[in-house]
Amino acid sequence: MLSKMNKILAILLIAILLGGISGCYIDADDDRDREPPAVPRGVRTITGDEEVIIEWYPNGEYDLAGYQVWRGRDGINFDNLAEVSENTTQYIDTTVRNGETYYYAVSAYDTDGNESELSPEDAWDTPRPEGRNITLDDYNIFPGRSGFDFSRPEKGSIPWDTPATDIYFGFDTDTLVTYLYSDNETLMQDLGYHENFDSVDVVPEIGYTTLFVELIEGHIYALFTPDGNFAKIHVRELYEDAIVFDWAYQTDPENVQLAPSLNRP
């Protein structure tokens, strides 16, 4: 005869086999991975012309499935912007407007659907217009095409002596030096030689001079216009009678972000 203990064990075994005791059966879902990927790090933004480029460091999980890119307007509340594959660490947001500020975050998710928290970096950007190959002539020779108005770049070169002219170009025959001038109190600062325009992402808030600055080929110059906007130019070619430069202009007043787009032609 079975002992009392053996009878109890036998009853428990039968109940387990029949599924009569709740929670005693094996649930296949219990073996599913419930650990989310690590939070993406190194999230940064790059300012463009009607676009913002978001970049981040890659995650290293073997079961990583992709990333979610998030965008907000206040740095606190975010909406899902895009989903990208696990091999992607960059996204270009082209649904933005120049002069408006956007905040970004990135999360990672795995093959089981687990998703990380949002990235902690304070990644925000304000896209702005830019242009290339503007040519200004010496105001002493061709005064009608020696100036430039950053707020109306579609005009190209304009006369140097109009109220709208922010900068104009000239060659001093006494000192044999080429200069960038301003008669409307646009402030200027030489940021030194840079091989690429994107070497200067953010212009300084202080350290500007007035009236004129000596021009040197390959140098980037930061400017602060009378309407409270920052700009920059990169001197591509420099001659005694002309200058060719690339430019960027931040339409959001007192915003120093001026990095160019990575996919500029």
Residue 91: alpha-carbon gap to chain centroid: 10
Tell which of 78, 93, 125 closes a domain: 125
- Same domain for 172 and 206? yes
> 137 with 182, same domain?
yes
233 shares a domain with 187: yes
Host domain of residue 82: 44-125
Taking alpha carbons only, the member of 150, 152, 154, 133 closest to residue 265 is 133
Same domain membership, residue 185 and residue 74: no
| The pLDDT value given to residue 16 | 53
Residue-wise pLDDT for 76-123, tens only, equals 999 999 999 999 999 999 999 999 999 999 999 999 999 999 999 999
Q: Based on the domain organization, do 148 and 89 belong to the same domain?
A: no
Q: What are phi and psi of 174, to 5 degrees?
A: -80, -45
The answer to whether 252 and 203 are in contact (CB under 8 A) is: no
Residues 134 and 245 in one domain: yes
Backbone φ and ψ of 251, nearest 5°: -80, -15
Q: Are residues 141 and 163 in the same domain?
A: yes
Does the pLDDT value for residue 262 go beyond 50? no
Q: What is the reported pTM? A: 0.72
**Rounded Cα distance, 24 and 28, in Å:** 13
Residues 75 and 145 in one domain: no
Domain count across the chain: 2
Which phi and psi angles does 114 have, rounded to 5°? -75, 135
Flag whether pLDDT at 20 surpasses 50. no
Residues 49 and 93 in one domain: yes
**E strand segments, 48-166:** 52-55, 64-72, 79-85, 90-93, 102-110, 123-125, 130-137, 147-148
25 has pLDDT over 50: no
| Residue 33: inside a domain | no
260 pLDDT tier (thresholds 50, 70, 90)? very low
Q: Give the 3-state secondary structure of residue 7.
A: helix
Q: Which residues contact 33 (CB under 8 A, 6 or more apart)?
A: 63, 110, 112, 114
What pLDDT score was predicted for residue 10? 56
Q: How confident is the model over 181-196, as pLDDT tens digits?
A: 999 999 999 999 999 8
| 5 backbone dihedrals φ, ψ, rounded to 5° | -65, -40
Final residue of a structural domain among 74, 97, 125: 125
Tokens of 202: 């953010």
Condensed to tens digits (0 to 9), the pLDDT of residues 127-162 reads 999 999 999 999 999 999 999 999 999 999 999 999
93, 125, 157: which is the final residue of a domain?
125
Confidence band for 200, pLDDT divided at 50, 70 and 90: confident
